[in-house]
Amino acid sequence: MSHLQAPTPTTIEAYIALIDEALLEIRDLYDALDYEMDGLSKAMDFIPRVETELQALKQALLTEQTHRFGADLEYMPLISNQNTYVLPFKLLLTDISRIHRQGLGLDAQDS
């Protein structure tokens, strides 16, 4: 699935939906690795760390009353130089980190 930059979600639930989409893409990538190792095997160098960070972020969002936004996610240096053949959902991961850095689009909700 290709991903174009989506509007910034205005709720934690919508942000979690993006995280769930990325986690599904990761599962699909694992499935693809079963059939095609050439090139995609490079993803195994970093995808488990990305998956772990997304799962932790989702859990934090589900359990915390408030979540501190304001920084890129730690996986960004791991994915920044990856091409979309190795990481076809790179833009989705970049969006999730951008939202984490900028915060939810609450201004859109208030207008």
Residue 77 lies in a domain: yes
Tell me which residue range forms the domain holding 88: 12-110
Residue 2 lies in a domain: no
Q: What pLDDT score does 43 carry?
A: 82
Residue 7 lies in a domain: no
Contacts of 20 (CB under 8 A, 6+ apart): 58
Residue 85 lies in a domain: yes
- What is the pTM (predicted TM-score) of this model? 0.83
Task: List the structure tokens of 19.
Answer: 């995280």
Residue 68 lies in a domain: yes
Task: List the structure tokens of 18.
Answer: 């993006």
Task: List the structure tokens of 44.
Answer: 């195994």
* Mean pLDDT in consecutive groups of 10 residues from the start of the chain, 111 residues: 67 94 94 74 88 96 82 94 90 94 67 34
- Total domains in the fold of the chain: 1
Q: What pLDDT score does 39 carry?
A: 67
Residue 5 lies in a domain: no
Nearest residue to 74 via CA among 59, 44, 54, 58: 54
